[in-house]
Structure 1
Amino acid sequence: MDVAAESMRQLRTWNLSQVVAARAGGRAVVVKATAPFLGDEPRAVDLLGRFAPGVAVPVLARDPTLRIMVMPDLPEDHHGESDPKVLAEMVDRWSAAQLACAPGVQEFLAIGRDLRAEAVLATADRVVAAVSPSLNGAERRALDQARASLGTRLDRLAKCGIPDSIVHGDLHPGNWFGPPGGLRRTALHLLEPVRLWLAADLFGGFLRQIEPSEAPYHAADPPALAQALIRHAN
Structure 2
Amino acid sequence: MSALRTASAVVTFGEEIIGESGPFETPESAAWNNTAPVCERLSALLGVPVVVLRLLEVSGGGFARGGRVRYHAEALERPRSRLSPAAAGDLFEPHPLRSRWATSAGLREGLEWASSVAEVTGPPRQAKTWNLGAVFRLPVEGGSVWLKGSAPFGAAEPDALEWIGDPSLTPVVLARRPGWTVLSHLPGEDCWEAGPGLLDALVRRWAEAAGRLGAPASLPDRRPARLPALFAGLLDGEAGRSLDAAETEAAGRLLDALPRLISGLEACGLPEGLVHGDFHPGNCRSDGTRTTVLDFADAHHGHPALDGLRPATFVAPDLWEPCRSAWISTWSRAVPGSDPARALELFRPLAHLSYAHRYQEFLDAIEPSERIYHEGDPAEEIREALQAVKTSRPPT
TM-score, scaled relative to structure 1: 0.86
1:20-53 CA distances to partner (integer Å, 9 max, x unpaired)? Answer: 111235431111111123233112100011xx66
Do the aligned partners of residues 129 and 27 (structure 1) sit closer, same or farther apart at CA in structure 2, a change above 3 Å counting?
same
Do the aligned partners of residues 80 and 144 (structure 1) sit closer, same or farther apart at CA in structure 2, a change above 3 Å counting?
closer
Unaligned runs of 5+ in 1: none
- Where does residue 87 of structure 2 map in the other structure? none
Do the aligned partners of residues 34 and 5 (structure 1) sit closer, same or farther apart at CA in structure 2, a change above 3 Å counting?
farther
- Alpha-carbon distance in 1 for matches of 2:224, 2:356: 16
How far is 1:78 from its partner? 5.2
TM-score, scaled relative to structure 2: 0.53
- Where does residue 58 of structure 1 map in the other structure? 172
Do the aligned partners of residues 53 and 82 (structure 1) sit closer, same or farther apart at CA in structure 2, a change above 3 Å counting?
closer
- Where does residue 190 of structure 1 map in the other structure? 346
Return the match for 1:118 from 206, 211, 225.
Answer: 225
How far is 1:80 from its partner? 6.4
The structure with the greater share of residues assigned to strand is 2
Larger radius of gyration: 2
- Where does residue 220 of structure 1 map in the other structure? 376
Q: Decide whether the 8 Å contact of 1:39 with 1:111 is kept in 2.
A: no
Q: Decide whether the 8 Å contact of 2:356 with 2:381 is kept in 1.
A: yes
How far is 1:92 from its partner? 0.8
How far is 1:16 from its partner? 0.8
Do the aligned partners of residues 174 and 11 (structure 1) sit closer, same or farther apart at CA in structure 2, a change above 3 Å counting?
closer
- Alpha-carbon distance in 2 for matches of 1:137, 1:2: 56
- Alpha-carbon distance in 1 for matches of 2:381, 2:186: 34
Q: Decide whether the 8 Å contact of 1:143 with 1:233 is kept in 2.
A: no
Equivalent residues in 2 for 1:156-175, closer than 5 Å: 156-171=264-279, 173-175=306-308
SS at match of 1:32: strand
SS at match of 1:6: coil
- Where does residue 153 of structure 1 map in the other structure? 261
- Alpha-carbon distance in 1 for matches of 2:373, 2:161: 29
- Where does residue 363 of structure 2 map in the other structure? 207
Do the aligned partners of residues 47 and 161 (structure 1) sit closer, same or farther apart at CA in structure 2, a change above 3 Å counting?
same
How far is 1:94 from its partner? 0.7
- Where does residue 128 of structure 1 map in the other structure? 235
- Alpha-carbon distance in 1 for matches of 2:374, 2:192: 28
Equivalent residues in 2 for 1:104-115, closer than 5 Å: 105=215, 107=216, 110-115=217-222
* 2:388 counterpart of 1:232: yes
- Where does residue 89 of structure 1 map in the other structure? 201
Do the aligned partners of residues 132 and 57 (structure 1) sit closer, same or farther apart at CA in structure 2, a change above 3 Å counting?
closer
* 2:157 counterpart of 1:41: yes
1:208-229 CA distances to partner (integer Å, 9 max, x unpaired)? Answer: 1111101133221122122222
- Where does residue 182 of structure 2 map in the other structure? 70
- Alpha-carbon distance in 2 for matches of 1:15, 1:3: 28
* Seq. identity, %: 30
SS at match of 1:4: coil
- How large is the RMSD of aligned CA atoms in angstroms? 2.3
How far is 1:202 from its partner? 1.1
Do the aligned partners of residues 220 and 100 (structure 1) sit closer, same or farther apart at CA in structure 2, a change above 3 Å counting?
same
How far is 1:146 from its partner? 0.9
- Alpha-carbon distance in 1 for matches of 2:147, 2:353: 32
Do the aligned partners of residues 40 and 135 (structure 1) sit closer, same or farther apart at CA in structure 2, a change above 3 Å counting?
closer
- Pick 1 or 2: higher relative contact order, CA cutoff 8 A, min separation 6: 1
Return the match for 2:126 from 10, 17, 20.
Answer: 10
Q: Decide whether the 8 Å contact of 1:203 with 1:222 is kept in 2.
A: yes
- Alpha-carbon distance in 1 for matches of 2:380, 2:273: 28
Q: Decide whether the 8 Å contact of 1:160 with 1:184 is kept in 2.
A: yes
Do the aligned partners of residues 76 and 55 (structure 1) sit closer, same or farther apart at CA in structure 2, a change above 3 Å counting?
closer
The structure with the greater share of residues assigned to helix is 1
1:87-109 CA distances to partner (integer Å, 9 max, x unpaired)? Answer: 1111111111111112xx3x2xx
**Paired AA for residue 42 in structure 1:** P
* 2:298 counterpart of 1:142: no
- Alpha-carbon distance in 2 for matches of 1:18, 1:129: 32
More displaced 10-residue stretch of structure 1: 113-122 or 196-205: 113-122
- Which stretches of structure 1, 4 residues or more, deviate above 4 A after TM superposition? none
SS at match of 1:112: coil
- Where does residue 180 of structure 1 map in the other structure? 328
- Alpha-carbon distance in 2 for matches of 1:47, 1:23: 27
